[in-house]
Structures are given as C-alpha cells and as structure tokens.
A and B are shown apart, each in its own frame.
Chain A
Amino acid sequence: MDFIVDYYFNWGIIKDSFDVVLDGFVFTIKLSIVSGVLSLIWGLVLAVLRQLPGRALAPVRWITIGYIDVFRGIPALLVLFLVSGFLAAGQTDGTIPEWLGLPTWFGQPTWFWYGVIGLTLTYGAYMAEVYRAGIEAVPGGQMEAARSIGMSHGQAMRFVIVPQAVRTVIPPLLNDFIALMKDTSLVFAIGGAEVIDAGFDIQSDTFNGSAFILGAVFYLLITIPLARLVDVLITRQQEKTRRGGEPADSTETRPPSTPPGMVGA
C-alpha cells in the first residue's frame, strides 16, 4: 500500500519535477492551440471542397473524400512518423529545402512543427466531418433562398450556410479539440519535449511515476472545464431549438391584422 502511494504521490518528486513538467505542459498547450487553429481552418476548407457543386468539380470532391477517409482511418502516430521521416529524409537528400525540411519557425523546435503538421493533417479530416454534419443540417431552403436572391454557390456558403453550420458544430469541434490536445502527447515519439517526455525522464531517473500524475493533473485542469463547457453549450442549443419549435410568441409580437404601413396606401 505504501508503495502504491509513494509511486504515484511522492510529494518530494512532484515538487522537484514541477518546473520541468510545467515546461513540458507549456509545449503541450502551444502545440494544441497552433494545431487546433490550423485544424479548424483546414477542416473547413476540406468540408467546403467536399460540398462543391457540379459535375466538373467531381474530381475535387472525390480527392477530398479520399483524403478525409484515409486520414480518419489511420492512427495519428503513424501520420507523425510519415511526416517527420519524410521531411527529415527529404531535407538530407536535398529534395526539400531546409526551411521546410527542418522547420524552426517562430523559434519553435523542429519536432514542434512536425507535430503541428501531422496533427493538422489528421484532425483537419476529423473536423471536416464535423463541419459537414453542420452544413448538411442547415435546411435546404436556406441554399434555395440564397440562390434565389442571386447569390452564387460560393456566396451562399460564405454568407448563409457556413455561418449557420459553424454555430451548431461548436460543441463537437470542442470535443475534437480535447481529443487533439491529448493526442499532442504523441509527439513524444518523434522527440517532442512535452509533458510525457518530462514525466518519462523523471520516471527513468527515479523509478517513480509521480511526475506523470502531475502531468495528468495539468491535462485535467484544461480538459475537464472544456468538457463542462461543451455540456453547457449543448444544453443551451437544445433549449434554443425547443423554443424555436414553437410559433414564435405570435400573440406578443403580432401587429393588428392589417399591417400599419399598408393602411389606406
């Protein structure tokens, strides 16, 4: 029993490793935010490409669907290895310029950018599916109404469909973001100095897992509030839908049966 408590909750080790694990977690946060934002954008691009109309653009739709199927169907870790290996080998080979093969943009280490690229490729595909569900949930009459006042397909998507779709998919997108945040730990496998890496080093040195517990607490400090936020947003949406189902307070806002502006006109 003492061993279990000591292995997971050795306060001395937790205190000593706090700064190292926190440094790792800062990378986790940075990686999550950068990959998250890029995935949101890339996912929306994919979702819109997938909805392009017309026969001429069918190849674009097929390629997009193929991409989404592939990247949703393989592990993120595998993608990370494929990306990092390719970029590093291409740079050594001279095929890929150094700025891209060994990126150190904005002063961040190369593994950080490998992680961003790999996670964005994967999570863009996940988020594209979420956006698609949102776009398809917008009633067909909206596209017709937009087209009937002369909008092109692109204008209708931009001003009418996507703004409505995005509102409804914020909770599932946040869920994907939580999953993405946890999956940033995979960059450990390509040399990333994040929380797992910090905990792993300490575990190797001390044969003690307390630093991992500290890392878990850091994760939970972010993920649990986010999960609660998702719940709140969903509840709010459901309430709104329920209200929308009723005839919008027709007794309150109804004007006299003849529209005032038309009287005697």
Chain B
Amino acid sequence: MTEVEERLILELGENFPIEPRPFAVIGERLGITEDEVIARVKDFMDKGIVRRLSVALRHQNVGFTANAMIVWKVPPERLDEVGNKLASFPEVTHCYERETTRDWPYNLYVVVHRPYREECLAIAARLSEAVGVADYRVLFSTAELKRSNPQYFIERGEDDAV
C-alpha cells in the first residue's frame, strides 16, 4: 500500500471527522482533494478493504463478556461436514478451524452471542446433537481485560523493546 493509502486507512478509522464534509477534512490532512479521498474510499470498498462506513457501539456485544466459545474435538475427516453444518446455524456468529496442541486438542471453534449461560449451554447441546460430536466444552468469558480498536500501521520506534 502507498503511504497515502496507509494514512487514509488511519484517518478513516481512528479520528473520522464528524463534520458536514468529512472527506474534505481528511483530504486536507493528507494533502489531497475531497474528490480524490471519496474516489479512494470507494475503491477501498470495492476491494473489500473497507467493509462499511459505520459505527461500533458501546453495548454491541462483539465484546467477550456476553459470549460463549464452544470448542469441539472433531475427527479431521469430519471437519468439513461439521464446520459447514455448525456455520449454518443462525445462533453461530463465528466458526473457525484452529490449530491444536498436545494439551488443547479442540480444533473447531464456534462463538455464540447469548447473554445467559443456560441459553449457551442449551445451544451447545443442540449443536452437539445436530452434528453428532459429543466431545466439546463451553468456555464462558468472565472478565474482560482489554478491548481496543485495531491498531494499523503502528510506527515502530527504534527503542521498542521487542
């Protein structure tokens, strides 16, 4: 990505101006015209780099306090079938296959957003029956230690410890 594109991504995300002509303000910050900013944003949207111009809300439970992660141990040959089936349930918001380790054998992850444990447990049981996989665990998040917006194009100073 060019420097201007990187800076535009930052401006579009971090401090988007809540002004009558926000793209003109961004253009001033980047030294390009309002029309060029709008054209680039449309290009980003066409390419799927920008999914949407929108808002993230305080109570939008993308956070992890009200969600349950159900982890499954699925025989590798059944991953396709089970993954796609679990993904088809509306209650399931995310479904991933992930790496496993010796003492963490769960290879399929499902996230369900429901405020109450019992509901999550009930859904897990129903999903388990629907896909015929009995080896699963329901992990509830009990405390949120950090939730921040993604940090793109962080300038790495020389003195960074890592």
Decide whether A and B are members of one complex: no
> Measuring CB to CB, which residues of chain B are less than 8 angstroms from any residue of chain A?
none
